[in-house]
């Protein structure tokens, strides 16, 4: 599945940056990292997000392989970009059965973090410097970009991709300081349970309850529109 194997920790070309802490998601822990390289031409100092996934069983490994395969085919500015994957194969190492997915961009704030921050700070955000209370912008742009990313997934060929777990936790908000037209770039992340969609096919009723479409709540077969409903719930 295209996973690099390193026999020594010092051979890993990425350096973990714990100054930002880590974020635990449904299927792994994400932290910030920079590339360690003696060749600036290949991105020395670039910032990445690394998700650590424990793959103890054969099913776990198949799930990770599927996620990597999906990420490798995506090329869209509002979809997480895959860089590489690796394991540290050292007997007795605490992370021996852990696969690390390297992606970009790194963004420390998700839509979920923003909503929480806003609720706890009397209408002012300490994590999003671009936010202005009562201002309409940049929300129309953020919603349009999310829809663009979702449309990209749904128009994949030969089969469309259904994300299956659209929620505020899985939408990063990247602050683009050099862009006046698009100061905030939302990034759809976490494709751990995403799959190719086949109309009428039975699928596991996974996802986060609060953001499920009515057909999912009723345990009926979901459609691509189920993702759109979930996205609408994020901004309701």
DSSP labels, 82-109: EEEEEEE--TT-TTTTEEEEEEE---S-
Cβ–Cβ under 8 Å, residues 34 and 47:
yes
Task: For residues 190 and 215, state if they share a domain.
Answer: yes
Instruction: CATH number of the domain at 185, please.
Output: 1.10.510.10
* Residue 59 domain boundaries: 4-104
Task: For residues 38 and 140, state if they share a domain.
Answer: no
Residues forming beta bridges with residue 30, ordered by sequence position: 23, 51
What is the pLDDT at residue 214?
A: 94
Domain boundary among 104, 129, 152: 104
* pTM of the full structure: 0.90
Task: For residues 79 and 140, state if they share a domain.
Answer: no
Count the domains in the chain. 2
- C-alpha angle with apex 109: 2 to 144, nearest 5 degrees? 85
What is the pLDDT at residue 93?
A: 63
Task: For residues 120 and 83, state if they share a domain.
Answer: no
Mean pLDDT by 10 residues, the chain (236 residues): 85 89 81 76 72 86 92 96 91 75 93 87 78 86 97 96 96 78 89 88 79 92 95 94
Task: For residues 212 and 194, state if they share a domain.
Answer: yes
Task: For residues 88 and 121, state if they share a domain.
Answer: no
Task: For residues 161 and 212, state if they share a domain.
Answer: yes
Task: For residues 125 and 54, state if they share a domain.
Answer: no
Tell me phi and psi for residue 152, to 5 degrees. Answer: -60, -45
Task: For residues 56 and 131, state if they share a domain.
Answer: no
Cis peptide before 216 (omega within 30 of 0): no
Q: Is 123 left (phi over 0), alpha (psi -120 to 50) or beta?
A: left
Domain boundary among 55, 84, 104: 104
Domain boundary among 104, 119, 146: 104
Residues 6+ apart with CB under 8 A from 90: 7, 8, 9, 96
Of 63, 65, 62, the closest CA to residue 26 belongs to 63
Task: For residues 92 and 158, state if they share a domain.
Answer: no
């Amino acid at each position: 599945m295209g996973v690099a194997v390193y026999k020594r920790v010092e051979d890993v070309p990425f350096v973990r940056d714990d100054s930002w802490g880590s974020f635990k998601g449904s299927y792994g822990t994400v932290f910030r990292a920079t590339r360690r390289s003696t060749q600036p031409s290949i991105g020395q100092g670039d910032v990445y997000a690394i998700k650590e996934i424990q793959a103890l069983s054969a099913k776990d490994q198949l799930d990770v392989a599927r996620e990597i395969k999906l990420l490798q085919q995506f090329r869209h500015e509002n979809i997480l970009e895959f860089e590489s994957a690796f394991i540290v194969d050292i007997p007795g190492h605490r992370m021996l059965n852990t696969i690390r997915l390297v992606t970009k961009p790194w963004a420390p704030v998700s839509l979920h973090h923003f909503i929480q921050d806003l609720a706890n700070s009397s209408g002012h955000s300490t994590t999003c410097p671009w936010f202005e209370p009562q201002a309409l912008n940049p929300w129309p742009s953020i919603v349009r970009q999310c829809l663009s990313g979702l449309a990209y997934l749904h128009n994949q060929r030969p089969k469309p991709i259904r994300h299956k777990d659209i929620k505020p936790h899985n939408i990063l908000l990247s602050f683009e300081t050099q862009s006046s037209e698009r100061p905030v770039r939302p990034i759809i992340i976490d494709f751990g349970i995403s799959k190719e969609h086949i109309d009428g096919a039975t699928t596991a009723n996974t996802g986060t309850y609060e953001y499920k479409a009515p057909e999912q709540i009723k345990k009926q077969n979901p459609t691509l529109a189920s993702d759109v409903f979930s996205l609408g719930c994020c901004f309701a």
